[in-house]
Copies of this chain bind each other. A is one copy, B any other.
């Protein structure tokens, strides 16, 4: 039999450092059932995180980073425990996530263009280039019009 002589465990602070989630958030996720209750110390009430717990929390951290809601995370992780049986559910959830990220990327590109235009505008003002400033102001308005057309979606 394999002897787990070095069964590494972690305090909440260590778990927080390793997952990138604040300790308060770890407790919060546990309280609302995103993760199952963490085992406690024999003599204390302190949470004791195993490496398995850490793996799961890394997953949660990733889902959180993609902007998934806690409700969806809870569902996703519940399905994860079922394995391949729920693969189609996982794919559907992830595809929705992919679409959301694409929309976000689009919005950010628009903002980048707008801010870039504003920088050019103030640089023209600084250089005393009134004509350039006005031209850039017009461009900003054009951007607004483009936005209006693209408003379809």
Contact = CB atoms under 8 A, between A and B. Distances in A.
A91 interface: yes
Copies of chain A in the complex: 2
A148 B14 contact: yes
Given A20-B111, A20-B152, A94-B122, A62 B147 contact: yes
Nearest to A144: B62
Interface in A62-100: 62, 65-66, 83-84, 87-88, 90-91, 94-95, 97-98
A91 B58 contact: no
Interface stretch (A25-33, A34-42, A113-121): A113-121
Given A14-B148, A151-B20, A151-B65, A112 B102 contact: yes
Q: Chain A contact residues: over half helix, strand or loop, or mixed?
A: helix
A84 to B, nearest CB: 5
A91 B119 contact: yes
A48 B101 CA distance: 30
Interface of A: 8, 10, 13-14, 17-20, 51, 58, 61-62, 65-66, 83-84, 87-88, 90-91, 94-95, 97-98, 101-102, 104-105, 107-112, 114-116, 118-119, 122-123, 125-126, 137, 140-141, 143-144, 147-148, 150-152
